Chain A
């Protein structure tokens, strides 16, 4: 067993309008360092919930199971502690922060994480230089650093902004929740390249997607199929291509 990310028997529910709704029903997942894993699965199977639970969103109640990251009990940590430990979540729908300058937000975040990791904080000049280079590599317009966080951004701009944040925060484990949705082919390639630049023996990613296209660029190590709150099937990259062609129905029927 690797000591990187270990999820075992994870169950979680949410209180939706007074009704308890069980969403995760025993997720087992192990991601070794240096690998890109993919989760596919029909809508409502619990993929986004898994990402939220791993990132520490408080609306979800973990009812059973464990999740460890670098051997630490992930579920006992505050969201910002998980971020400092190297976990990053690229949101499916990035949140708007009116009036908050994007560069200022990024610098605050980067320095918060650097502080927590025992690194020196970056001054404004050093940070801006780094941010501009990273933005350029993602073909982002320079003014996106000056605009308010995600406010008035197009869908594609928001997704790129997520990848920009990921680049600057230098996580060791990134969850990308449908980062490819709503992107045109060129944007998709740029985003994938952004992720690929982070690839290293110490960096792993969990990619939630519906589309094979992204995987053409990312070249994953493992594919997992999630349904009804559990991982029902795992396999190599060929599994994604099979799903792309045949859909989920066949696999769901097999486990039913």
Chain B
């Protein structure tokens, strides 16, 4: 059975309305004491056996962070975060690193099974040949709390010359590459959360696709927060050389908690001449209960640099989880004729708050960007699209098309669209379209008269609303995303 089927089945089992993945895995944890200071950073660095330059980089970022204040411009409200009241390092206690899955803690593998991650899939692990024309296999680099525990498909990737490994490993094994690119797209001091991440990031993925290589499989990472009160600070760096391409899939789930969990990831993408990067996310972290208690605080900085001519970076995200989402995957369109795309579905229900969007910075000539943002609000939630399109003086012939659609379910939620458009070039063409609509009683009744339950009807209508975005997702993700949309809106009507 292909991994995809297994994933799909696992997702189908999600038919229940409450968040099912709220369990804690009982694994011995290696945990730093609460609090954030230079000693903790030194501890993280030494636990990860990092070279000196990495430690210095972290400490510099920490200094920068100390001088910064938390941004307040987003339309999200939450109680003050006590940054000293969290653990900044937690790792399953391990013997020397696992050489194969047999060496991986079975408890951990069971956790993944519950999550429906097809890590244990025989065909996948054995690297069974896939007949021509079938879907590309998916490589899974599973991040369990702060340490990546298992990586599959390494070999196939190595043969193609692709590096896909935990970033902590890349720091040690490919230090030149990491040093060359880390922090060049999102500098440590870019914002409060990126500075924090730079100081304390524990793990994440590193991808390097050499010149001319089309990555032979889609890369997928499943992040999962587990230990109590452990902020998770992933760091992902993807570098794609001239004429190369990669599709990276990121999927997230987290267990149920009462206390809020801080999450501040940084993702950096670099695309050289004619390179293309497709980065897809399905985010399904615990959103808090019906009353808004608990849930993940998600403060993410994601940015891609189209450095080369005709390079292309495409962000696709389906955001259904988290209590608070603060996230603006962006593209810096530097190379002549480079292309940036942002396709987003953000769903909020109950008391969730999302302030998400993108930034398209047009620097080079004839650069193009497309933004399709679909926002769905239900319950008492609040959702904001915030997007910047900036055309710099040298970006002659730049083009942008933006479409923001909001769908409201019920009468106690909010949807807001905040576009910033700055053009410093007379030749630029910028289009912005925005709509706000409600699921109408007519539509629901029409579907129900045809035999659909109310929830299926909502799912169908919402999926229709999001179709322009969902069709950008790789097939297996699209199926999960459709289910997730429906699940996250259950109970929102009627």
Q: Which residues of A contact B (CB under 8 A)?
A: 55-59, 78-80, 82-84, 88-89, 91, 94-95, 97-101, 105, 108-110, 112-113, 116, 148, 165, 169
Contacts and interface: CB of A to CB of B under 8 A. Distances in A.
A42 B433 CA distance: 43
B445 interface: yes
Interface of B: 440-443, 445-454, 456, 460-461, 463-468
B465 A83 contact: no
A169 B450 contact: yes
Contacts of B463: 99-100
Contacts of A112: 450-453, 456
Nearest to B494: A58
Q: Which of B442, B450, B467 has the most CB of A within 10 A?
A: B450
Contacts of B443: 95, 97
26 contacts: A55-B449, A79-B445, A79-B449, A80-B448, A80-B451, A82-B449, A88-B449, A95-B440, A95-B445, A97-B447, A97-B460, A97-B464, A99-B466, A99-B467, A99-B468, A100-B461, A100-B463, A100-B467, A105-B450, A105-B460, A108-B452, A108-B460, A109-B447, A112-B452, A112-B453, A113-B450
B469 to A, nearest CB: 10
A148 B467 CA distance: 11
B445 A57 contact: yes
A109 B464 contact: no
Given A80-B452, A108-B452, A169-B451, A98 B465 contact: yes
Contacts of B451: 80, 83-84, 109-110, 112-113, 116, 169
B441 A59 contact: yes
B282 to A, nearest CB: 19
A97 B450 contact: no
B450 A109 contact: yes
B411 to A, nearest CB: 16
A95 B457 CA distance: 13
Contacts of A100: 460-461, 463-464, 467
Contacts, number: 77
A101 B466 CA distance: 12
Contacts of A91: 446, 449
A77 to B, nearest CB: 11
B453 A80 contact: yes
Contacts of B465: 98-99
A91 B442 CA distance: 11
A169 B449 CA distance: 11
A83 B442 CA distance: 16
A110 B464 CA distance: 18
Contacts of B453: 80, 112
A55 B454 CA distance: 14
Nearest to B450: A109
A61 to B, nearest CB: 15
Contacts of A89: 449
Given A108-B456, A112-B456, A97 B461 contact: yes
Nearest to B462: A99
Contact of B442 (A78, A95, A169): A95
Given A80-B451, A83-B450, 6 more contacts: A56-B449, A80-B449, A80-B454, A99-B468, A105-B450, A109-B450
Contacts of B441: 58-59
B460 A83 contact: no
A174 B367 CA distance: 56
A179 B467 CA distance: 30
A169 B451 CA distance: 9
Contacts of B467: 99-100
Nearest to B448: A79
A165 to B, nearest CB: 6
Nearest to A83: B451
Q: Which of B441, B446, B468 has the most CB of A within 10 A?
A: B446
The 3 nearest A-B residue pairs measured at CB:
A99-B464, A100-B464, A109-B450
B487 to A, nearest CB: 17
Nearest to B468: A99
Q: Which of B448, B453, B454 has the most CB of A within 10 A?
A: B448
Contact of A78 (B446, B447, B448, B460): B448
Contacts of A109: 447, 450-452
B461 A165 contact: no
Nearest to B442: A95
A97 B464 CA distance: 7
